[in-house]
Amino acid sequence: MAYRVIVIEDDPDMLDDMIAALRRSPDFEVAATYKNGNSAINPSSMFRPDLFLLNAEDDENLDMVDDFVEKFPGAYILGTMTQWDPIIAQKALEGGATGCIIKPFVAKEILEYIQLYTVRGQHKPAKLISFFSPKGRAGRTTLAAILALLIAEKTGERVALIDADLQFGDLPIFFDLEPKRTVVDATQDIKLLTPVSFAPYFYPIKEGVFLLSSPERPEYAELVAPESLTEVVMMSENIFRYVLVDLPAGFNPLALNVCRISDVVFVTTMINSGFEVKHAKKTMEMFEQQRDDRRRVYTVFTRVNPFTEENRQKIADQLGYPVDVMIPNEYKMISVANSGRLAQGLPEDTLLMKSISDMADKIIAAGR
């Protein structure tokens, strides 16, 4: 059965191209066209539309996305734009749109976009989560990887892992992968990509979990501009419901850019000696200076021993901030990760897994 389509477009030439593309396909039936959202929203009801193609480059149309979602809850709503704009795409998702598409297009592309956005998950903005640590060997990468697997399993929605530790990223090793494309390729190509053409850059790890790999060699990190990585992360939000970014240790332009656009930053620190708490304290003070009411910064301490509330309070007193998450030591998990078997099954019924599972539950609850 063909989609009944409402096209909202004020450029006559573009409108003619879009209608011609739709009419060449048996999958679409053009029910009506309108110049703007205000003139379309009420009369469209008589056509019982399945799909809206709405010019999202018009600010008034973009502001009306949530009105169309409320009035036509069963219809797909695709914002259209002449070139990819991550800000427009983000606003469309915030309004509840299915996603965005580049115009002009051929009918096959519409079907590809609908399929991509349908398997993504709920028509809501992605949850962008960054994992930051003051220094290396904090358990940051292992935590991000396990959380990605658990979130996908618990929600059935698509989860991306982006290995932005450009010089020494370990995520491909954790999953025993040798992806042909990496974050370097993505940042080099991003200006030419759309969500549909970008999706193959992610390598499937397990059902619902996909990896954008770190570079093969440390020196390739110099090829990644912080601004390009930010664009890569923002486009990923249109393909995946959850985007988890493993950042390099320490403050640098790349990490700061990604943290700036993140919904959540987990400052991850391994307990080994007193110095780690001091480093974490300095880190939290840095984020405090860059206060953003939208972003939430949480502290995570790994390899905590003894794993007690008394020790949590002791660390918090030294830190000067609450200890939001404690992760106990678990050598078996480290062995599984280092062997490349992380996607083949997580050890169950351990205190470590319960702690990370509780984290996943809180992330999911906040994303609903």
For residues 349 and 368, give the distance between their C-alpha atoms in angstroms, rounded to a whole number.
27
Give the whole-angstrom CA distance, residue 68 versus residue 7.
Answer: 13
- How far is residue 356's CA from residue 359's CA, in Å, rounded to a whole number? 5
**Structural domain count of the chain:** 2
- The 10s digit of each residue's pLDDT in 14-34 is 999 999 999 999 999 999 999
Q: Extract the tokens encoding 224.
A: 């990644």
Give the model confidence (pLDDT) of 32-54 as tens digits: 999 999 999 999 999 999 999 99
Are residues 203 and 166 both part of a single domain?
Answer: yes
Among the three residues 64, 94, 120, which one is the final residue of a domain in this structure?
Answer: 120
Judge if 107 and 148 occupy the same domain: no
Residues 110 and 175 in one domain: no
Average pLDDT over residues 360-368: 89
Give 347 or 205, the one with higher predicted confidence: 205
116 shares its domain with 263: no
Looking at residue 359, its pLDDT comes to 95
Regarding whether 112 and 134 lie in a shared domain, the answer is no
Q: Find the CATH number of the domain harbouring 199.
A: 3.40.50.300
Q: What is the pLDDT of residues 293-331, one digit of tens each?
A: 778 999 999 988 889 999 999 999 999 999 999 998 866
Strand order, beta sheet including 76-81: 28-34, 3-8, 51-55, 76-81, 99-102
Question: Is 359 in contact with 325 (CB distance < 8 Å)?
Answer: yes
Query: Which pLDDT value is given to residue 127?
Result: 96
Helices 12-23 + 107-120 axis angle, to 10: 80
Contacts of 269 (CB under 8 A, 6+ apart): 133, 134, 138, 276, 277, 279, 280, 283, 299, 300, 301, 302
Q: The tokens of 364 are what?
A: 């999911």
CB atoms within 10 A of CB 293: 5
Pick from 120, 148, 173: which residue ends a domain? 120
Give the residue from 71, 103, 120 where a domain finishes. 120
| Phi and psi at residue 55, to the nearest 5° | -60, 100
Residues 108 and 158 in one domain: no
Domain range holding 72? 3-120
- The pLDDT-based confidence of 332 (bands split at 50, 70, 90) is low
* Same domain, yes or no: 20 and 66: yes
Regarding whether 114 and 177 lie in a shared domain, the answer is: no
Q: Residue 231: which pLDDT band, with cuts at 50, 70 and 90?
A: very high
Q: What average pLDDT does this structure show over 47-71?
A: 97
Same domain, 211 and 226: yes
Q: Do 88 and 131 lie in a common domain?
A: no
pLDDT, tens only, 272-284: 766 889 999 999 9
Q: What is the CATH number of the domain that holds 80?
A: 3.40.50.2300
Same domain, 180 and 49: no
Question: Do 132 and 245 lie in a common domain?
Answer: yes
